Chains A and B, each alone.
Chain A
């Protein structure tokens, strides 16, 4: 195994461990959040995002790491995002959590993994068509929200933090 693969494997094991301990892998938790019955995965995600935002912004401002934004391609994000959301509701796992769910014995995730492999092959076949249609509509480029708004990243992080706190506080009050 190369160093690159080894580093990936160890990181993945820790990632899977935390996903499982946070109980974020389960169908009931993922679909439960979409049905507004159990917001565990949202609490888990928002907490991870907030901590990550602070650390990654600090490392980036110190010039230690490079940010790697994905293209803000509107057609791709809106249509692709909607397709993903719909498929996710049926499958009850996302690409990363499907493997974790299989690891904790949820065997039906295996059919989802098979479906996702078939979907990936299908996407590769359809890519030339999407490239001239959905992907060609409007691309805002690889950009961060602070640059787009012309504000400091800390303003965005502060605003997101307040939003996450408010939302999670409300979940706790409702007991979901």
Chain B
């Protein structure tokens, strides 16, 4: 088994196994230190961040909104976890010089050309739909895909295949034809 991939990354099975160990350690540490068991997740943070931003414009609207009230708009454990992902990825990309400025990724360029504006629109629109879906399903590939599967939750065994089935269908429709 190759320990390094062609792009100088770590073998995905090894990196994945280490993430599994991190997830176990994190569940244990949060139980021990914070008195509640926290599982890795990310999409709830987008609700909290949106609530914090919307509060600047209209605190009444956020205060009166049932979903924001239920989710509790605050900077919590998961919020800092998501901030940490950015920092950790930056650090990792510095250690092997894989940091790369990119406005339009190759597969997108093949299909839609080099316009950064088109890519920005696609990313924005995709982001809107993806988070509406993730919040409806109460989780994303972290919350369902990793944490839910690790707990053998029925919800995860439904959500993860749905993510991939719909993703594969839309990806083949959108990128399948090469321009």
Q: For B121, B122, B127, which residue has the most chain A Cβ atoms within 10 angstroms?
A: B127
A130 touches B141 (CB 8 A): no
* Contact A86–B133 (Cβ < 8 Å): yes
The residues of A that contact B89 with a CB separation of less than 8 Å are 16-17, 19-20, 25, 99-104
Interface contact B166-A8, CB-CB below 8 Å: no
Q: Decide if the interface of chain A is mainly helix, strand, loop or mixed.
A: helix
Chain B: interface residue count, which band? 35 or more
Of all chain B residues, which has the CB nearest A84?
Answer: B133
When chains A and B are docked, how far (Å) is the Cα of A7 from the Cα of B32? 11
Contact B126 A70 (CB under 8 A): no
The 0/1 profile, CB within 8 Å of B marked 1, for residues 43-78 of chain A is: 111111111110111011000111111111110111
| Contact B16–A47 (Cβ < 8 Å) | yes
> In whole Å, how far is A131's beta carbon from the nearest beta carbon of chain B?
8
**B166→A116 contact, CB < 8 A:** no
Return 26 A-B CB contacts under 8 Å, by A number.
A3-B34, A5-B75, A8-B79, A8-B81, A14-B84, A21-B9, A23-B12, A51-B21, A52-B19, A56-B27, A70-B143, A81-B133, A81-B166, A84-B129, A84-B130, A85-B167, A90-B125, A97-B141, A99-B42, A99-B83, A108-B103, A113-B127, A116-B128, A124-B51, A145-B153, A148-B154
Top 9 nearest A-B pairs by Cβ distance?
A12-B84, A115-B127, A51-B20, A16-B88, A85-B166, A81-B162, A83-B133, A87-B130, A90-B126
